[in-house]
Homo-oligomer: A and B are copies of this chain.
C-alpha cells in the first residue's frame, strides 16, 4: 500500500530517474553501513589496519552525498515534481545528509582507535554492543527506506531509546574508570567521543525514519513526541 505512489510513474524517463536516485541512496547507505560495521569490528580486534582503511574510504561517502544532492536538484529543475514525487526528492536530500554524518562516525571511531593505539585501554565491550545496535538500526532503516515502509520506520524509531540507555550506562562506566585511574583520562576521553558519536547514529537513524514518515504520510514529524508518531500507525 505504501508503495502505491512509488509505482505511479509506470513508464518514462522521469520514473527511471527517480528510481535511479533512490537506488543511489541505497548504495550510499550500503557503503555507510559497511564503514560503520568495519569500524565497530575494528574496535573489537583493535585493528589499526582496518581503521586506516575506513579513514581512507570516507571521501567516497562524501562524494556520493554531493552527487546525489546534485542529481536531486537537477530532477527538481527539469521534472518539476509535485506531491509524493517531490516529497520523495526532499526525503532523499535530507536522508543523504544524515547518512554522510553516520559515515563521519565510522571515521571518528577509526581515528579514536589509531589515537589510542598502544595505550592502556578502558573497557570497550559496551561500546561494541551499542555499536552493533546502531548498525542494526541503520540496516533496518535503509530497509524501511527501500520499501518506504511506515511500520518498519516507526519500529526503528523506537529502538533509539535502547541506544540512549546503553549510552548513559557507558558514560557512567567510563566516568568510574577515569576516577579510579586519572592517568587514563586522555584515552578515556577519546572513547567518550566515540561513544557520543555512536549514540548520534541512533538519532540520525531516527531522522531518516522521520523522512520516511514524511514521504508516506505527508506529515513533518520532526520535534514530535514518540506517542504521536506511534499514533500514525493507527490512522490510515
Contact = CB atoms under 8 A, between A and B. Distances in A.
B66 A222 contact: yes
Nearest to A58: B223
Interface in A60-93: 62-63, 65-66, 69-70, 73, 76-77, 80, 82-83, 86-87, 90, 93
B189 A171 contact: yes
Interface string A178-210: 110011011001001100100000000000000
Number of copies: 2
Contacts of A97: 94, 97
The residue in A62, A185, A222 that gathers the most chain B C-beta atoms within 10 A of its C-beta is A185
B69 A220 contact: yes
Interface of A: 59, 62-63, 65-66, 69-70, 73, 76-77, 80, 82-83, 86-87, 90, 93-94, 97, 171, 175, 178-179, 182-183, 185-186, 189, 192-193, 196, 220, 222-223
A192 to B, nearest CB: 8
Nearest to A174: B189
Contacts of A86: 73, 76-77
A9 B193 CA distance: 48
Nearest to A223: B62
B222 A65 contact: yes
A103 to B, nearest CB: 11
A185 B177 CA distance: 11
Contacts of A82: 77
A56 to B, nearest CB: 14
A220 B66 contact: yes
B90 A73 contact: yes
B171 A175 contact: no
A179 B182 CA distance: 5
A86 to B, nearest CB: 6
The 4 lowest CB-CB distance pairs between A and B, nearest first, are: A62-B223, A80-B80, A179-B182, A182-B182
